[in-house]
Structure 1
Amino acid sequence: MGFIGSVFSPWYAASGRRDPQNHCCLNVATYGPGGRFTMTDRGRSALRQTTDTLTVGPSRMHWTGRHLVIDIDEIGALPLVTPVRGRITLTPQAVTDAEVALHPNHIWRPFAPIARIDVDLTQGHRWQGHGYFDANFGTAALEADFDFWTWGRYPTQNGAQCFYDATRRDGSTLALGIEIDHAGKVREIAAPPLTRFKRSLWQVKRETRADAGTLPQQRLNMLDAPFYSRSLVQTRLNGEVTTGVHEALDLTRFRSPLVKSMLAVRVPRRAKWTQDRP
Structure 2
Amino acid sequence: MVPPGGYAWWYVDAVSDVQPDGSVQALTLIAFIGSVFSPYYAWARRRHGDDGAPAQAHCAINVSLYRRAPGDDGFSRLWTMTERGAAALARDAQRLAIGPSQLQWQADGGLQIDLDEWTVPWPQRIRGRITVRPGAMPGWSFSLDREGRHQWQPISPSSRVEVDLQSPRRHWQGDAYVDANHGSRPLVRDFRSWQWQRATRPDGRTSLLYEVQPTTGDGQALALSIDPDGHVRSLPPPPRQALPASAWQVARHSRGHRAPQLLATLESGPFYCRSLLRDADSGALALHESLSLQRFDQRWVQALLPFRMPRRAAWAGSR
Residue 13, structure 1, aligned to residue 35, structure 2: no
Instruction: Report the TM-score, using the length of structure 1 for normalisation.
Output: 0.94
How far apart in 2 are the matches of 1:35 and 1:272? Answer: 28
Residue 221, structure 1, aligned to residue 270, structure 2: no
Report the secondary structure of 2:144's partner residue: strand
Tell me if the contact between 2:158 and 2:204 (Cα under 8 Å) persists in the aligned partners: no
In the other structure, the counterpart of 1:262 is 304
Tell me if the contact between 1:199 and 1:206 (Cα under 8 Å) persists in the aligned partners: yes
In the other structure, the counterpart of 1:143 is 188
In the other structure, the counterpart of 2:6 is none
Residue 28, structure 1, aligned to residue 74, structure 2: no
Query: One-letter code of the match for 1:35?
Result: R
Choose from 118, 124, 132 the match for 1:75: 118
Q: CA deviation at 1:227?
A: 0.9
RMSD, matched Cα: 1.4
Residue 201, structure 1, aligned to residue 247, structure 2: yes
Residue 120, structure 1, aligned to residue 164, structure 2: yes
Tell me if the contact between 1:95 and 1:111 (Cα under 8 Å) persists in the aligned partners: yes
How far apart in 2 are the matches of 1:57 and 1:111? Answer: 24
In the other structure, the counterpart of 2:104 is 62
Q: CA deviation at 1:34?
A: 6.1
Report the secondary structure of 1:272's partner residue: coil
Q: CA deviation at 1:218?
A: 1.2
In the other structure, the counterpart of 1:185 is 231
Residue 47, structure 1, aligned to residue 89, structure 2: yes
Tell me if the contact between 1:29 and 1:35 (Cα under 8 Å) persists in the aligned partners: yes
Residue 174, structure 1, aligned to residue 217, structure 2: no
How far apart in 1 are the matches of 2:295 and 2:58? Answer: 22
Query: One-letter code of the match for 2:286?
Result: G
In the other structure, the counterpart of 1:105 is 149
Unaligned runs of 5+ residues in structure 1 are none
Query: One-letter code of the match for 2:39?
Result: P
Q: Percent identity?
A: 38
Choose from 150, 153, 157 the match for 2:198: 153
How far apart in 2 are the matches of 1:125 and 1:140? Answer: 38
How far apart in 1 are the matches of 2:254 and 2:77? Answer: 26
Tell me if the contact between 1:112 and 1:134 (Cα under 8 Å) persists in the aligned partners: yes
How far apart in 2 are the matches of 1:86 and 1:35? Answer: 17
Unaligned runs of 5+ residues in structure 2 are 1-29, 68-74
Query: One-letter code of the match for 1:154?
Result: A
How far apart in 2 are the matches of 1:125 and 1:146? Answer: 37
In the other structure, the counterpart of 2:138 is 96
Q: CA deviation at 1:242?
A: 2.3
Output one character per residue of 1:195-231: Cα deviation in whole Å (capped at 9) or x when no partner.
Answer: 11112222211111111xx222211221111111111
Report the secondary structure of 1:37's partner residue: strand
Tell me if the contact between 1:34 and 1:124 (Cα under 8 Å) persists in the aligned partners: no
Report the secondary structure of 2:77's partner residue: coil
How far apart in 2 are the matches of 1:47 and 1:143? Answer: 24
How far apart in 2 are the matches of 1:257 and 1:126? Answer: 40
Query: One-letter code of the match for 2:54?
Result: D
Q: CA deviation at 1:95?
A: 1.2
Tell me if the contact between 1:88 and 1:119 (Cα under 8 Å) persists in the aligned partners: yes
Report the secondary structure of 1:39's partner residue: strand
How far apart in 2 are the matches of 1:99 and 1:81? Answer: 38
Higher mean Cα deviation, 239-248 or 98-107?
A: 239-248
How far apart in 1 are the matches of 2:204 and 2:65? Answer: 28
